[in-house]
Structure 1
């Protein structure tokens, strides 16, 4: 998988379409969650794009401290269903963590994790804090990596 980090302005129309399609396929259709994915925050985000043969198969978006949480953050973590058996979730998250550490080295990284992925994020160095809460009807927990 090839990984690139781009600003919103650097995204091609094709990349943007593929990113939004992948997010919709997983978050709206697969997880059966009706919510407004296009939230006018993509314009502020850095986009971490994992592709194979020109197709977006994994993705996250990154925010600088203060744009989403007080700390830098990673969100919209997604891997195409047929690509999950290849460990691309860990690869895209490691690339995202590295991108945050390079750009915002003084900031911890905060995420709003779906609760069932607690072990996945713990294995990447994140620690849970606070109480579980519902976000768009799905249990989540806040996590931080210092």
Structure 2
């Protein structure tokens, strides 16, 4: 039987308490427990972000967030891209990331989109048109590199 996935895109204020709990649980499970990456995950960016969720029934299978530009960041950002371990290998990373990218480009059509990619995933993000810039940096104990998708008119 094939899974029937549903993509839901909501601003923070529209998230239910159950959705918020599922998001935090998934991010902690993968980033903190699996990847041993220690940082303040529940940062101030969640409140202003658009949240992209892929559900399998009532289960959150994949997630990403879009952070709008603000005073010191003149571009849109996509981050916290994550797929639950039970759903890996089903192309949900591509599905959730493409939905986040499409949404970011609709919300901010004149802006570049920037990500902080885990270095092993650089080639995967390049498939979406992202280009690496700058040096590799440590983010919570995991090597990342800044990547940019330049706005084209």
Give the alignment's TM-score, normalised by structure 2: 0.91
Deviation at 1:67, TM superposition (A): 6.3
Question: Residue 69 of structure 2 aligns with which residue?
Answer: 65
Q: Which runs of 5+ in 1 are unaligned?
A: none
1:105 to 97, 104, 109: 109
Check the 8 A contact 1:69/1:110 in 2, yes or no: no
Check the 8 A contact 1:48/1:96 in 2, yes or no: yes
1:140 to 133, 144, 149: 144
Q: State whether structure 2 residue 87 is matched by structure 1 residue 80.
A: no
State the Cα RMSD in Å.
Answer: 1.2
Give the 4+ runs in structure 1 shifted more than 4 A. none
1:22-37 matched pairs, under 5 angstroms: 22-37=26-41
Give the alignment's TM-score, normalised by structure 1: 0.96
Q: State whether structure 2 residue 12 is matched by structure 1 residue 16.
A: no
How many equivalent pairs are there? 146
Secondary structure of the residue aligned to 1:49 is strand
Secondary structure of the residue aligned to 1:86 is coil
Check the 8 A contact 1:44/1:67 in 2, yes or no: no
